[in-house]
Chain A
C-alpha cells in the first residue's frame, strides 16, 4: 500500500512480475510471522513439554535427557530455527492424544471441514447475492429493511446456539434432518474414501442411499454456516450494487432503452462481481472460523472439532498445528482473493 507510490516507476516497467514478487515476499513474511506466533504460544504454555513426554514418575536423569533432546536448553532463537526446520519437513510433532503425527491427523479431518464450509459458502452465495441486489434496487424501502435486519440477525446470533436450536427443532422434534455426525454408521463402510468429501465420493460410486443420508446430515450445519455467510455477502452486494447503479453507464443504458432487469442483472451486477469475488473468498475464510463452534455442536469430525478436542485434552502440539493450518489456509484465501481481483478487473491489472 505505502510502497505503491514509492515504487511507482518500477511497477510501470515490470508491472506483473514486480507485483508478484512483492506479494510473494509479503506472504512469506506473514507465514514466518504465523510460525513465530504459534512457536511463542507453544513456549508460554504452563504444561511442561518434558513431563508430557516422560510422565511424572521419570527419574531426574531421564528428565534431563529428554529436556536436552527436545532442545529446551538452547537459546529461544535456535529453538525457533529447529521448529522451522521441522515444520518445513511437515513434522508438527506427535499428538499426545492420538499418538500419531499431527499432520496425518489434520489431513484426515480436513476434508470434512472443507466439505461443510464449501456447501455453506455455496448456499450463502446463492441466497446472499440476489438478496443484496434486491436490497440495493429497493433501497430504503421495506425489502431493503428486511434484508438488513435478516443480515444483522446473522451478525448477532451465537452460531452454536442456533445450531443447538436447529438440532432441537429439525432433528428432535420434526425429524426432517439427520442428527449430529457426518454419516450414519450403517453407511459408513459403504463408501471407499477417495476425495474425502463424502457427498462427492458417494455420488461417484453411485451409492445414492448413502448420498441421501450424508445430505441429510450436512444440510443443517451447512445451512447454518450459509446463513452467516449470506449475512455478510448480501450486505456487501448491496453496497457494491448501490455504487454501480449510481454510475453513468447505468443512466446511459436507461436512456438507450435497455430493460431494467438487464441493467441490474447484466450491466451492474457484472461490474459488482469483481469485488464480490473477493468478498466470497473472505467469507469462505470466515466459515473456517465458524466451523470450530459448529463442528462442536454437530459432532462433525473436522478440523474445528479436532482443535477443540485437543484443547480440552491440553494437547498443545495438536492445537498449534491446527491453528497454524487454519492460519495458512486463511492467508492462502486472502492471497487468492487478491489474485482473483487482479485477474478479473482489467483496470487493476493494467495499473499493476
Chain B
C-alpha cells in the first residue's frame, strides 16, 4: 500500500501479488456488491448498532436495569422524556432494560454459533470424508434431530435440564447443528476426491489431520454464511423460550421474558409489551436483511 497506487486499485487488482492481497480483494468485492443492496446495508447498520449498544450498555442506559425506581410513583409510567419507553410494573426503566438485554441477546447468538458450528462441522465432515457406515450412522442421527421441530425439541431439553439462560443456550445449540452437518457433508463430498486431498493422503496424513487441516477450512465459509442466516431464528427461539419462562429468569432483562412479564398489563399499558417485542423484531429483521443480502452476493445460484 505505497503511495504510488490507491488502496482501491490494490484491492481490485486483477493480478494479486500475494495470497493476502487476493483474499482481501475478494472481501472488498463482496463488500462492494453488498453495499449496492440497500436492505443489506440497513441490516448491517442494525447489527452494528446492536453490538455497540451491548458494548456500551453501562454508558447508554440511563437507569439501573434490575433495581426499579419508586414503586408508588414510578410504576407503569407511559413513555416520556424521562423514561423514553416508559416503566414496567416494578418501576424499572424499560429503555435501560432493553439496552442491557441486548447483551443477553448477543451472548445467546454468539454462544449458540460457537457451540453448534463445530459440532455440525465435525459431524458433517467426518460423515462425508469416511462415507460408508460412518456416513449412514451419523446422517441418521442428524435426520433424527431434524425430525423434531426446533422449538419443541429445545422445549423438551430445557424441561429436562431445568430453566435458565445457560440451559436455553445449550438446548438451542443442540437443536441447531443438524443443518450445518448436512451442509458440511455435502461440501466434503465434493472435496474429498480432489487431487490435492489425494496428494495429502499419499503423503501419509492421518484422517484427523486431513479433516481438520484441509477439509474443515474449505467447508467453513459456507457453514458460516448459513449460521449468519440462522441468527434471526436463534434470537426468535431464545425469545420464545424466554416468553414461556424457560429461558433467562427474572429479573434478568431478557426481551422475551419482558414480554411475558408485561402480558397482564397489555390492555392499559401497551408499552410494556410493545417495546421489547419491537427490539426483538428490529434485531432479527436486521440479521435477516443482512443474511439475505449476503446470500445474494455469495451464492451464485441465487444471483440470477
Contact = CB atoms under 8 A, between A and B. Distances in A.
Interface in B279-296: 280-281, 284-285, 287-289, 292
B12 interface: no
A70 B241 CA distance: 31
Given A44-B161, A160-B240, A152 B285 contact: yes
Contact of A172 (B232, B267, B284): B267
B160 A44 contact: yes
A12 to B, nearest CB: 22
Interface stretch (B71-79, B99-107, B211-219, B270-278): B270-278
B277 A164 contact: yes
B32 interface: no
Interface string A142-161: 00000011001101111111
A49 interface: no
Contact of A2 (B131, B151, B259): B131
Nearest to B289: A152
Interface in B126-142: 131, 135-136, 139-141
Contacts of A331: 147
A152 B148 contact: no
A314 B304 CA distance: 51
Given A289-B150, A307-B155, A152 B259 contact: no
A37 interface: yes
Interface string A36-68: 111001101110000000000000000000000
Interface string A328-352: 0011001000000000000000000
B177 interface: no
Given A156-B232, A164-B266, A172-B267, A33 B156 contact: no
A292 interface: yes
A224 interface: no
A327 B151 contact: no
B155 A155 contact: no
B263 interface: yes
Which among B243, B266, B289 has the greatest number of chain A C-beta atoms within 10 A? B243
Given A30-B144, A152-B288, A286 B149 contact: yes
Nearest to A45: B160
B64 interface: no
A292 B151 contact: yes
A168 interface: yes
Contacts of A148: 39, 292
Contacts of B239: 158
Overall SS of chain A's interface: helix
A34 B148 contact: yes
A194 interface: no
A327 B141 CA distance: 14
Interface residues of B, number: 51
A11 interface: no
A56 to B, nearest CB: 18
Interface in B254-276: 256, 259, 263, 266-267, 270, 273-274, 276
Interface stretch (A198-206, A249-257, A315-323): A315-323
B159 interface: yes
Overall SS of chain B's interface: helix
Interface residues of A, number: 54
Given A156-B288, A158-B240, A158-B280, A327 B147 contact: yes
Nearest to B277: A161
A29 interface: yes
B149 A158 contact: no
Contacts of B280: 157-158, 161
A326 B148 contact: yes
A296 B244 contact: yes
Contacts of B139: 2
B144 A33 contact: yes
A311 B263 contact: no
B118 interface: no
B161 A312 contact: no
B245 interface: yes
Nearest to B292: A152
A320 B156 contact: yes
Contacts of A155: 232, 284, 288
A136 interface: no
A146 to B, nearest CB: 12
Contacts of A167: 266
Nearest to A246: B304
Contacts of A307: 152, 155
B166 to A, nearest CB: 14
A164 B152 contact: no
A285 B159 contact: no
A261 B117 CA distance: 46
A165 interface: yes
Nearest to A1: B139
Contacts of B153: 37, 323
B67 to A, nearest CB: 26
A296 B292 CA distance: 31
19 contacts: A2-B139, A26-B140, A37-B145, A41-B160, A149-B39, A158-B240, A158-B259, A160-B240, A160-B243, A160-B256, A164-B273, A288-B152, A296-B243, A296-B244, A308-B244, A311-B246, A323-B155, A326-B152, A327-B149
Given A155-B284, A160-B256, A289-B149, 19 more contacts: A30-B140, A33-B144, A34-B147, A34-B148, A156-B287, A157-B280, A157-B281, A158-B239, A160-B259, A162-B277, A172-B267, A242-B304, A292-B151, A292-B240, A308-B244, A320-B156, A323-B152, A326-B152, A331-B147
Q: Which are the 5 A-B pairs with shortest beta-carbon distances?
A: A33-B144, A161-B277, A289-B149, A156-B285, A156-B284
